[in-house]
Structure 1
Amino acid sequence: MIRFDDVTKTYMRGQRPAVENLDIEFARGEFVFLVGASGSGKSTLMRMVLKEVNPTRGTVYVAGKDLSRIPSWKVPSLRRDIGMVFQDFRLLPSKTAYQNIEFALAVIGTPRKVVRRLVPEMLEMVGLEDKGKRMPHELSGGEQQRVAIARAYVNRPSILLADEPTGNLDPSTAGGILDLLAEINERGTTVVMATHDRAAVDRMQRRVVEMVGGQVVRDEAEGTYETHAPVSVISGHLPDDSAHRDEHPLEDEGLAERWEGVPAERSPVEGERAAAGETAAADDIAAPAAAAGDVLEEDLIDEREAQQVRDEDLFTDEAFSDDAFSPEPFPETPLPEQSEGERR
């Protein structure tokens, strides 16, 4: 379903890679927890699955497709099969819960008859069948996250990515969100969840992948949040965020050769924004800024990349059709004749 073959991603020349020599695969129907300190590469991994950023080196496969071979104009179609849930919900504040879910269907041209059937089904699935007319500010944090999950899942994506979906919720509410994601997984959707929620990981006992400094240092089939492995940051065996990672080469069990030595080349910028299964909001509106203090790898992207993202997002599928381009995009236009006096 998702495979990384020797993938390295460096955002800016001279900086250490956000993801380095990544070789990992997530099978269809799996529920996987991504754990690790902030800056360990979890968000970059998800952004590459969405083809929001391209690897500097290596190949990413999603649903059997080599993402490097997918042109820009086909990316929105790819993302319709990938749902995305965020820590800060990212609901449209001027729309009701019903309309937020409806919007995800409307932007892909779903017939009204189908919309009227699917949206109530989603509200019922997430336990909000009586709150479809509520505005986001009238819902609790847990209810807002349920609406966000319904919006991400309404198109029945084969992959659901969740970036800290319980990070802003109390333990009891977080448990309900986790149960909802487990139910979606049981319906056949592959769920990859990046989290710092120790209780969630320990409770579920699913596959746990820990990342340190952009590398996978642990991959356990039925793991817990902490580990006895000496290469773990979250278990306290390495300094947080691997500030002294040069002193800790990941030689245990052959997980890596050394931290240093990877070429720091800037990859070409693809220039599109994460749409995800949160298809509606992410394709058509700019997502709000991440919560204060939440350090993500995208903070490394310079303003020029961000501007190109905004510019590229103005294009639609039709804009990239074969008929949209003239064989001579800059035809010469003869200048009008000028008299000698005008030239002077």
Structure 2
Amino acid sequence: MIRFDDVTKTYMRGQRPAVENLDIEFTRGEFVFLVGASGSGKSTLMRMVLKEVAPSRGTVYVAGKDLSRIPSWKVPALRRDIGMVFQDFRLLPSKTAYQNIEFALAVIGTPRKVVRRLVPEMLEMVGLEDKGKRLPHELSGGEQQRVAIARAYVNRPSILMADEPTGNLDPATAGGILDLLAEINERGTTVVMATHDRSAVDRMQRRVVEMVGGLVVRDEARGSYATPAPVSVISGNLPDDSAHRDEHPLEDQQEDSGPESTTAERSPAEDETHGATSAEEGSGTVASAGDVLEEDLIDEREALLVRDEDLDVEDAFAEEPFVSDPFADDAQEEER
């Protein structure tokens, strides 16, 4: 399903690689925890799966496809088969829970009839069937994350990537999110979750891959967060590589670079809270109107159109907006 073949990624010449000589495979239907200190290479690994960055050496395969051979205009199609869940939720603040999920379907031209069936199904699956009309700020942090998971899964991707999905949640709420991810995994989706959540890893007892300084130092079929292995940083057996970060301070600037930075401008920071702010349970964090999610989805729609030179793009977007209020009919009925 996902394979790294002798992959090394160096962001800037002279810097230490973010990942080095990476040879690992995640098979279909697996649930994998990626663990390691900040800067260990987890985020770079996930970004290469999404083809946000390309390896400096080696080959990344996703669903049997060599990503280096996929042209840029086909990347949106690739990403439709990869759901992504973030620590900071990245919901569109002006859209309801229903509309946030609907938006992921609208940009790929899903028929309205199918949307009206799928979105309620997703809301029910994540336990929010009665909260579809609520805006993100009216939901708790756990509820916002459930909406984000529903949005990531609504296209039934074969792979679901989760970057610290429980990082902003209290333990009880985090447990519910883990149960939801486990349910998605049981339906056949490969789940790869980067986390610092010790209790989550210990509770699930799934495959654990630990990274240190861009290298995989541990790969256990049914592992725990901590390990007696002497190469583990998170277990306190090996000092954190703070000297490396002092030597290359640019690595701590990934969060400031913004989502639209080019590959050359991005540092190899593996700050696992990339793009996130601290959020209290009950308030959460939502994306701004110009958030990368909406821009990426719009770019995806444009990418689908670029192949047809005869299509009038302006006319294509002049049609009635797809994302509408799904509860408008109910409101009109109440007025009558």
C-alpha change, 1:243 and 1:237, in structure 2 (3 Å) is: farther
Residue of structure 1 equivalent to 2:10: 10
Q: CA deviation at 1:237?
A: 1.1
Residue of structure 2 equivalent to 1:116: 116
Q: Deviations over 1:245-268 (max 9, x none)?
A: 9xxxxxxxxxxxxxxxxxxxxxxx
SS for the counterpart of 2:302 is coil
TM-score scaled by length of structure 2:
0.76
Contact preservation (8 Å) 2:108, 2:301: no
Q: Structure 2 counterpart of 1:164, which letter?
A: E
Residue of structure 2 equivalent to 1:195: 195
Contact preservation (8 Å) 2:107, 2:301: no
Residue of structure 2 equivalent to 1:212: 212
Mind listing any 5+ residue stretches in structure 2 that lack a counterpart? 246-261, 265-273, 279-291, 311-336
Residue of structure 1 equivalent to 2:307: 321
Structure 2: distance between partners of 1:319 and 1:96:
27
Structure 1: distance between partners of 2:78 and 2:300:
18
Structure 1: distance between partners of 2:147 and 2:304:
31
Q: CA deviation at 1:240?
A: 1.5
Residue of structure 1 equivalent to 2:81: 81
Structure 2: distance between partners of 1:322 and 1:135:
36
Residue of structure 1 equivalent to 2:329: none
Q: CA deviation at 1:242?
A: 5.8
SS for the counterpart of 2:8 is strand
SS for the counterpart of 2:115 is helix
C-alpha change, 1:319 and 1:270, in structure 2 (3 Å) is: farther
Residue of structure 2 equivalent to 1:239: 239
Contact preservation (8 Å) 1:6, 1:21: yes
Structure 1: distance between partners of 2:41 and 2:64:
23
Q: Structure 2 counterpart of 1:291, which letter?
A: T
Residue of structure 1 equivalent to 2:331: none
Structure 1: distance between partners of 2:115 and 2:87:
26
Q: CA deviation at 1:290?
A: 2.8
Structure 1: distance between partners of 2:102 and 2:305:
25
Residue of structure 2 equivalent to 1:172: 172
C-alpha change, 1:217 and 1:132, in structure 2 (3 Å) is: same
SS for the counterpart of 1:105 is helix
SS for the counterpart of 1:115 is helix
> Matches of residues 281-320 of structure 1 in structure 2 within 5 Å?
289-291=275-277, 313=299, 316-317=302-303, 320=306
Residue of structure 2 equivalent to 1:47: 47
Amino-acid identity (%):
87
Structure 1: distance between partners of 2:114 and 2:102:
10
- Give the root-mean-square deviation of aligned CA atoms: 2.4
Structure 2: distance between partners of 1:313 and 1:270:
18
Structure 1: distance between partners of 2:162 and 2:300:
26
C-alpha change, 1:141 and 1:216, in structure 2 (3 Å) is: same
Q: CA deviation at 1:320?
A: 4.7
Mind listing any 5+ residue stretches in structure 1 that lack a counterpart? 246-268, 272-287, 293-305, 325-344
Runs of 4+ aligned structure 1 residues displaced above 2 Å come to 241-245, 288-292, 312-324
Q: CA deviation at 1:316?
A: 2.6
Q: CA deviation at 1:124?
A: 0.3
SS for the counterpart of 1:321 is coil
